[in-house]
Chains A and B, each alone.
Chain A
Amino acid sequence: MVEGEFKIVFTGPMGAGKTTAIAAISDEPPVSTDVVNNDRVAFDKELTTAGLDYGHIALADGAAVRLYGTPGQLRFRFMWDILGNNAAGIILLLDASQADALVQLDAFVDAFGAGKRSPIVVGVGRAAAAGALPLDAFAQRLESRGLTLPVFGVDVRRRDDVLLLVDTLLCLLELGDRRTA
């Protein structure tokens, strides 16, 4: 079992659901730095994250996870590096209904070390929406770059879906520990 306290970072483009996902699983109401969104063209929603999200969960086996969310918009890129520092693992959320979802996949995978610094688990939302990219497209894109990362279809509003991503990441961490032990 993995023990101790882990720092996990939720990242991905605007509207993918980082803030929603952390709120769905955090034991306590998360710290939010959401502000009025003035760019309804980029993504039509009322609020957007300017700083970070922060939540916390205690797991049944005694491990605890600190959950950090990044802002999604590119001008906040400097926060990605600050928040990504010392992360045990990354959960990358994407929105399959966005036309540029695969470009975003590449960009965020690269920005967070392509799985080499710390493991990455990919959660794809809205894959059932009309005109959305199929899940396979994400796995294939990664494969074409020689990367094998777990890819799941998720609804970030559902606690169980988000916990699946966290559990998978913790499993990868455990495997990594065994390999280096």
Chain B
Amino acid sequence: MSAGPRFGRVATGVAQKQLEALAQTTPGVVSAVLLSSDGFEVASLQVGSAGAARLAAMGSSLSAIGSAIAREAGIVECTRMIIESDSGVVVVMGIPDARPPLSLAVIAREDCVLGQLLWAARNCCVTIARAFRE
């Protein structure tokens, strides 16, 4: 068993700052993890390391299954998945054109405003995308 891959330190640093900004400016955000498409944690916020690793693996499974369903349905590319419950929301979004492919998973409380959360998470993804394209 290997220790897992390393992702670029500069880009990871940018991502970490963006996750912090997301949590500070968006009411209701509980935690967030930037993850590789194969389920490794790249950066995380407000989750213990075991929690971040689990969330990264689960987020990547979700996003891989979401993409497979989108392909099956002929709608080409899954850009985000939203899991809603009475006690909170989980959003998994693809980071556009990142190399390696990445996704952002955000967990928010039920009192968050979904539109605001999605908009803020989207902006966060766009900024992170820039860092992982350079």
A interface list, Cβ under 8 A from B: 31-42, 48-52, 71, 73-76, 78-79
Contacts and interface: CB of A to CB of B under 8 A. Distances in A.
Contact of B60 (A31, A39, A50): A50
The secondary-structure label for the interface of chain A is loop
Contact of B64 (A37, A40, A41, A50): A50
Nearest to A30: B68
Given A36-B38, A39-B40, A75 B64 contact: no
Interface residues of B, number: 26
B68 A51 contact: yes
Contact of A73 (B39, B58, B100, B101): B39
B105 to A, nearest CB: 13
Given A71-B61, A76-B57, A78-B57, A39 B38 contact: yes
Contact of B40 (A38, A49, A79): A38
A37 B5 CA distance: 10
A22 to B, nearest CB: 13
A8 B65 CA distance: 19
A51 B53 contact: no
B2 A41 contact: yes
A37 B38 contact: yes
B36 interface: yes
Interface in B20-63: 36-40, 53-54, 56-58, 60-63
Given A33-B68, A39-B2, A41-B2, A76 B40 contact: no
A79 B65 CA distance: 12
A163 B36 CA distance: 34
Contacts of B4: 38-39
Interface in B56-82: 56-58, 60-65, 67-68, 72
A36 B65 contact: no
Contacts of B54: 75, 78
Contacts of B56: 75
